[in-house]
Amino acid sequence: MKNLELLTLAALFAAKVTATDNVLTPQGLAAAIKTEELERNLWNLDRIARENGGNRAFGTPGFEASSDYVLERAKTRFGPEYDTTVQEFNHLYNEVREISVTGPDGEPVAAVTLIYNPGTDDGPIKAPLIDTPVDDARGSGCFEDQWEGIDATGKLALVKRGTCAIVDKLKLAKAHGALGVILYHNLAGTPGSATLGADSYGQIVPVATIPLAVGQAWKASLAAGEEVVVELFIDAIFEDRKSWNIIAETKEGDPNNVIMLGAHLDSVQAGPGVNDDGSGTSLLMEIMTELRYYKGYANKVRFAWWAAEESGLVGSLYYTSTLTPEEADKIRFYFNYDMVASPTPDYAIYIGDNAVDEIGAAKLLQWLQASGKPAHYAGFGSSSDYVGFLELGIPSSGIFTGASASTDPCYHIACDGLSNANLDALTANAKAAANAVAEFALSLEGVPTRLRDSSVNPRSRNAVRTQFLKWRRAAETAATQKSCSHTGDNMV
């Protein structure tokens, strides 16, 4: 990578020998995608994280520097070909400045925090553990009946991670009197981070995630009738911070027919986020770079780099919540690219209940399969930036190469750096994405406008706006009640 660092910007983007009025073809755009340029973007995003505290998370200097990297290209150098805007919004920011768990023998235990984790307001909490039942099928500690007979008053609840939302476990722990939760991982290896959601503020207890083996050992001690006293300390801040989406749209094409590609620009606070989602960011940047050399295509192409995805899909939900019905109608298809370079990739192509999804999904699937990749269809979940588009009934697809221990063992932790990206997978996915967007840029024949039927779009734009109101109330509460969680010492 040393050679990449030494190359000058002039050399990176030397003038092409081909004319700028090239006729767009799907094969031509796909062929123009270069592994070395995709890698260069990843190298720069990794560098930005290393120079800014190890991450590129929303509300941090690393995110701002990542934005500058995208804008330098989209707005400054590519201004003649693209109209680029920055869509600003405010959101509740949380940072855990310190977290520690101390075991019964006084030994420190590796602990991972979660986003929107409340602090231990008055300093460390030292209390005995109380066990909770394990239910891997429904999720442990997820339902009221699983807490029956458990009085956690004045104690730290020991709960296994997995299956249901962590925030549900924490709300029930609080309802049963727990001072906090020691959440032991459901898998071997280092636990990854996750978001508890800004709207959980004030409704949950502090939590630390610890390794599976430690949790199982403490559970065995409790089962043997031993008292296990643990200390939990979390120093956290909450405050409203500005963030922004970056939207770049081709000047070429019909403004009433837009094909949209999105990837989130932020990482988790725990690491640089090169696969998650520097890979999607790089994919969009390389397609944007090469598409600018073509003219004469019928439909506009819009690129979006979303902010604060790791905090709860905030940027993309803000964007979709602000679209008028007429603006939403103009988005004919949305492609989401989140984690497209997992080390051991599973080539999952999103397809949902909207029958039109398959038109775009098939383009990705067929390209990857023809390239020798074992691509397959998979359903949408609820954890990436396609959510707001699905809720508006906009046909959607995308690629996801996996976040499991087997596909990406560095998911949401510090080792998601440059060496964590599979460049072969990234190149194949970028070429598939380029082929698909070029086909749609040339023709949307057979692609109907979005569906507004409630059976396909059960929550709709109003639900997205309701979510934002909940976030706003949480931010206002945080501003008046809490800015720093470390104010004293509390021994129980």
Active-site residue among 309, 310, 391, 439? 309
- Round to whole Å and give the CA distance between 58 and 88: 12
- Round to whole Å and give the CA distance between 347 and 365: 9
225: burial class by Cβ within 10 Å (0-12, 13-18, 19+)?
exposed
- Round to whole Å and give the CA distance between 436 and 259: 10
Q: Is 95 a catalytic residue?
A: no
Element (H, E) at 237: strand 229-250
Closest CA relative to residue 253, chosen from 17, 28, 444, 26: 444
- Give the position of tokens 């598409």: 291
Contact 252, 296 (CB under 8 A): yes
Contact 336, 386 (CB under 8 A): yes
Retrieve residue 172's tokens: 């029930």
DSSP notation for 439-457:
HHHH--TT-PPPP--TTTS
Neighbours of 353 (CB within 10 A): 12
Contact 456, 43 (CB under 8 A): no
**Alpha-carbon distance values, 69 to 223, 378, 416 (Å):** 54, 32, 19
DSSP notation for 143-174:
SGGGGTT---TTSEEEEE--SS-HHHHHHHHH
Q: Are strands 229-250 and 82-102 parallel, antiparallel or unpaired?
A: antiparallel
**Alpha-carbon distance values, 259 to 251, 299, 387 (Å):** 13, 7, 17
Active site residues: 309
